[in-house]
Structure 1
Amino acid sequence: MQKYLPLFPLNLVVYPMEALNLHIFEPRYRTLINECLDNGTTFGIPAFINGKLPGFGTEVKVTALSKKYEDGRMDIKTEGIRVFRILDFQNPMALKPYAGGLLEMLPMPEVRPFVMVGLVERVKTLYRFIDEENTFDVNKPQPYSYQIAHKIGLTLEEEYQLLKMPTEAERQGYLIQNLERIINTLQEIERTKERISMNGHFKNLDPLNF
Structure 2
Amino acid sequence: MTNFIPIFPLGVVVFPGEQLNLHIFEPRYKQLIQDCFSENRSFGIPIVLKNNVSEMGTLVTITEIVQVHEDGKMDIRTRGEKVFRMLELVKTIPDKLYSGAIVHYPTNDERQNSKLTAQVISGIRELHKLIQVTKDFKKTDDELCSYDLAHHAGLSLEEEYELLSLLHESQRLEYLKQHLSKVLPVIAGMESLKERIQLNGHFRELKGFNFDL
The TM-score normalised by the length of structure 1 is 0.89
Report what 1:114 is aligned to. Answer: 113
Report what 2:5 is aligned to. Answer: 5
Matches within 5 A, 1:133-172: 133-136=134-137, 137-140=140-143, 144-172=145-173
Structure 2 residue matching 1:195: 3-state secondary structure: helix
Please identify runs of 4+ aligned residues in structure 1 that moved more than 4 A.
201-206
Counterpart residue identity of residue 181, structure 2: E
Report what 1:95 is aligned to. Answer: 95
Deviation at 1:201, TM superposition (A): 4.5
Report what 2:78 is aligned to. Answer: 78
In 2, the alpha carbon distance for the partners of 1:35 and 1:198 equals 61
> Which moved further from structure 2: 128-137 or 17-26?
128-137
In 1, the alpha carbon distance for the partners of 2:34 and 2:203 equals 70
Deviation at 1:198, TM superposition (A): 4.2
Structure 2 residue matching 1:47: 3-state secondary structure: strand
Deviation at 1:109, TM superposition (A): 6.2
In 2, the alpha carbon distance for the partners of 1:155 and 1:134 equals 18
> Which moved further from structure 2: 6-15 or 124-133?
124-133
In 2, the alpha carbon distance for the partners of 1:133 and 1:64 equals 28
Counterpart residue identity of residue 26, structure 2: E
Report what 1:131 is aligned to. Answer: 132
| Residues 17 and 80 in structure 1, CA contact (< 8 A), matched pair in contact too | yes
In 2, the alpha carbon distance for the partners of 1:7 and 1:13 equals 14
Counterpart residue identity of residue 93, structure 1: I
Structure 2 CA distance for partners of 1:39 and 1:150, relative to 1, 3 Å: same
| Residues 108 and 168 in structure 2, CA contact (< 8 A), matched pair in contact too | no
Deviation at 1:164, TM superposition (A): 0.2
Structure 2 residue matching 1:44: 3-state secondary structure: strand
Question: Aligned residue pairs: how many?
Answer: 204
Aligned CA-pair RMSD:
2.0
| Residues 25 and 72 in structure 1, CA contact (< 8 A), matched pair in contact too | yes
Report what 1:22 is aligned to. Answer: 22
Structure 1 residue matching 2:28: 3-state secondary structure: helix
Counterpart residue identity of residue 194, structure 2: K
> Which moved further from structure 2: 86-95 or 4-13?
86-95
Deviation at 1:106, TM superposition (A): 2.2
Deviation at 1:3, TM superposition (A): 1.2
Alignment pair present for 1:52 and 2:55: no
In 1, the alpha carbon distance for the partners of 2:155 and 2:181 equals 12
Structure 2 residue matching 1:160: 3-state secondary structure: helix
In 2, the alpha carbon distance for the partners of 1:190 and 1:69 equals 46
Deviation at 1:46, TM superposition (A): 0.3
| Residues 121 and 149 in structure 2, CA contact (< 8 A), matched pair in contact too | no
In 2, the alpha carbon distance for the partners of 1:76 and 1:170 equals 32
The TM-score normalised by the length of structure 2 is 0.88
Q: List gaps (5 residues or longer) in structure 2.
A: none
In 2, the alpha carbon distance for the partners of 1:202 and 1:138 equals 44
Q: List gaps (5 residues or longer) in structure 1.
A: none
Deviation at 1:199, TM superposition (A): 2.9
